[in-house]
């Protein structure tokens, strides 16, 4: 007979924060977070100094899975152009799911406003890493201005993710041609 191991209170809080803040926003109350996690407020404050620290830890915990879901494997043998397009194919595919609300890291930054908030710092780091990926691929692919192209691709990514997340646009047939136009204009191979 196998017994199911129940996640720790810390893990339950991190999961509740990830789920609820993605769906409902970072303004979700401590009461709702604790109720969803099945943890008392006292326990939450024993595990995390504040709700802000819980939000930051929740985002930090999601960074690896987020990158793995978007970025191609380091040694996949594709061209830089194909590797960049892969990222946009992934966000397009994710955007088709009913529970897609856009990029969780961008949403946290927009909602928090405070650039010094611990969760905002985590989110900014994730977004900077995506831009760095675009820049590295643009350099490898011979783009005329890799820095500009990386920033443009980040802007398209965030805009596409946000518009799909709020249901304002479907990305199919829209995001790939936009990215291809940018890649062509930059001289990407």
pLDDT tens per residue, range 56-67: 999 999 999 999
> Do 86 and 146 form a contact (C-beta atoms < 8 A)?
no
Does residue 34 belong to any structural domain of this protein?
no
* 164-184 pLDDT tens trace: 999 999 999 999 999 999 999
Q: How much is the pTM?
A: 0.92
Residue 128 CB partners (closer than 8 Å, separation 6+):
none
Place of tokens 């041609």: 177
Residue 76 is given by DSSP the state -
Q: Which has the higher per-residue pLDDT, 3 or 85?
A: 85
Among 111, 116, 117, 47, which residue's Cα sits nearest to residue 16?
Answer: 47
Does residue 114 belong to any structural domain of this protein?
yes
Does residue 48 belong to any structural domain of this protein?
no
CATH code at 159?
1.10.357.10
According to the model, what pLDDT value does residue 189 have?
82
Does residue 10 belong to any structural domain of this protein?
no
pLDDT for residue 2 is more than 70: no
Does residue 108 belong to any structural domain of this protein?
yes
pLDDT for residue 21 is more than 90: yes
Helices 118-140 and 80-95, interaxial angle, to 10°? 140
Number of domains in the chain: 1
- 169 vs 10: CA distance, rounded Å: 37
Q: What is the mean pLDDT of the chain?
A: 95
Does residue 71 belong to any structural domain of this protein?
yes
Does residue 142 belong to any structural domain of this protein?
yes
Domain containing 118 equals 59-185
* 96-143 pLDDT tens trace: 999 999 999 999 999 998 999 999 999 999 999 999 999 999 999 999
Phi, psi dihedral angles at 97 (to 5 degrees): -80, 140
pLDDT for residue 1 is more than 90: no
> Do 75 and 144 form a contact (C-beta atoms < 8 A)?
no
According to the model, what pLDDT value does residue 57 have?
97
- 179 vs 115: CA distance, rounded Å: 29
Does residue 146 belong to any structural domain of this protein?
yes
Q: For the beta carbon of residue 118, count every other beta carbon within 10 angstroms.
A: 19
CA dist list (Å): 56 to 5, 53, 109: 26, 5, 11
According to the model, what pLDDT value does residue 5 have?
79
pLDDT for residue 45 is more than 90: yes
Confidence band (pLDDT; 50, 70, 90) for 93? very high
């Amino acid at each position: 007979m196998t017994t199911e191991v129940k996640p720790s209170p810390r893990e339950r809080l991190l999961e509740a924060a990830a789920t609820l803040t993605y769906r409902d926003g970072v303004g979700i109350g401590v009461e709702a977070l604790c109720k969803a996690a099945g943890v008392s407020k006292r326990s939450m404050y024993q595990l995390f100094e504040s709700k802000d620290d819980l939000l930051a830890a929740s985002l930090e915990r999601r960074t690896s899975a987020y990158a793995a879901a978007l970025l191609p494997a380091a040694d996949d043998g594709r061209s830089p152009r194909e590797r960049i397009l892969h990222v946009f194919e992934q966000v397009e595919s994710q955007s088709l799911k009913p529970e897609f609300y856009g990029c969780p890291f961008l949403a946290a930054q927009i909602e928090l406003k405070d650039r010094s908030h611990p969760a905002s710092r985590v989110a900014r780091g994730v977004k900077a890493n995506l831009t760095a990926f675009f820049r590295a691929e643009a350099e490898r692919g011979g783009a005329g201005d890799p820095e500009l192209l990386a920033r443009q691709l980040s802007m398209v990514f965030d805009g596409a993710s946000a518009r799909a997340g709020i249901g304002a646009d479907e990305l199919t047939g829209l995001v790939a041609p936009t990215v291809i136009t940018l890649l062509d204009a930059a001289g990407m191979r």
